Amino acid sequence: MQKRILGDSGLEVSALGLGCMGMSFSYGPPKDKQEMVTLLRTAVERGVTFFDTAEVYGPFTNEELVGEALAPVRDQVVIATKFGFDTSVDPRAMKGSGPVLNSRPEHIREVAEASLKRLRTDVIDLFYQHRVDPNVPIEEVAGAVKELIREGKVKHFGLSEAGIQTIRRAHAVQPVAAVQNEYSLWFRRPEEGLLQTLEELGIGLVSYSPLGKGFLTGAMTETTTFDSTDFRSSLPRFTPQALRANQALVDLLGEIAVEKNASPARIALAWLLAQKPWIVPIPGTTRLDRLDENIGAVAVELTTDDLREIEQSAARITVQGERYPEKLEQMTGR
C-alpha cells in the first residue's frame, strides 16, 4: 500500500483509508461485530493504516468497535474521530429537524475524554469538528483542540464540511491537518474553491463517500430499494428518477474500467487519487471482497489522456438530485 501525507501536517497515512461508519450506523442494521473486527484487522494486514469513525456513529458503538479491533495494532494505525453533535438527542432526529450541534469547548473536552476510552487509546490521531456550530466561534473550537494537543490527548486537528473562511479562521489559531469533505465524480463542489484553499494552506483533503455512497460501484439501478434504517432512503439523489438519470456516470466509469481491466469502483477511486497527492479517499465497506476491490484502485494508473477523457465525458453529464435533504445540506459549507 502506498502512503500519503495530509498537507503540511506530517501526518502519514495509507493512500486509501477505511470509513467505518457503515459497520454500525446509517447503512441499514448494524453488522455482526465479530465479522467487522475481522474486517478491520484484515484491512491492517492489507496495508490500510487510516481509519475513520465518530462518536455519533451509533452513537458510540462504532468507536467501541474500532477501539476493540485496532487495540492489538494501535501503534501501526492512525485513528480519526469527530466531535460536534449533542449525542443525548436521538440520532433519528437527523432525518427530521436535523441533528443538534454542540461544539462548546467544555463539550469538546468531554467528547475527547470519552472517545479516548472507547477507542482504547491514550491519544486521538486526528480530531475533527464534525459540522460547524454557528453558535460557537471557530476560534474557540480551534483553541479547545489546541489545548488538547498541548496536553498530548490529540495529535492533529481537522474540520468536516467546513466553509473556506471558517477553515482560514481555524487554521490561524491551530493548524488544520485535514478537511474531510464529500468528493467524488458525482459530487465535485470541492473544486469550486475548497481544493485551491487547501493547497494554499497546506491542508490535506480526506474524501468521504468517494464511491457516491455505493452508487459509483455500479451495484445499483433505479429499482434498488433501501431499508428504512438505511439513510439513503431519505436522500434525494437516491430516488428512482435520480438513480436512472445518474446512471450515465456509472456507464462512463464502466467504459474506462473495461479498458483498464478494472471495476467502476477502482476507476472512481483512481480518479480521486490522481487529482492531488494530498487527497486520501476513505471508502467504507462491510465486505472483504469490496475491501480488496477498493485497495486495488491504488495500482490503477490513469494516464493524462484517460483523465482528459473522463473529464470531457463527465462534463456532458448533469448529476441530478441533491445529496442531502435541505436541513442537512444547510449544515455544510458554513
Catalytically active residues, by annotation: 57
Residue 286: HSE in the Cβ half-sphere, 13 Å Cα cutoff: 20
Question: What are 13's three cell numbers?
Answer: 497515512
Residues in the chain: 334
Nearest-angstrom CA–CA distance, 42 and 236: 34
For residues 181 and 178, give the distance between their C-alpha atoms in angstroms, rounded to a whole number. 10
Neighbouring residues of 219: CB distance < 8 A, sequence distance ≥ 6:
none
Residue 92 CB burial class (10 angstroms; 0-12, 13-18, ≥19): exposed
Q: What is the DSSP string of 198-212?
A: HHHHT-EEEEESTTG
> What torsion, rounded to 10 degrees, do the Cα atoms 237, 242, 246, 250 define?
70
Strand pairing category for 12-14 and 3-5: antiparallel
Beta bridge partners of 4: 13
Which neighbouring-strand residues pair with 3?
Answer: 14
Which helix (H) or strand (E) segment holds residue 264: the answer is helix 264-275
173 contact partners, CB below 8 Å, separation of at least 6: 138, 139, 142, 143, 146
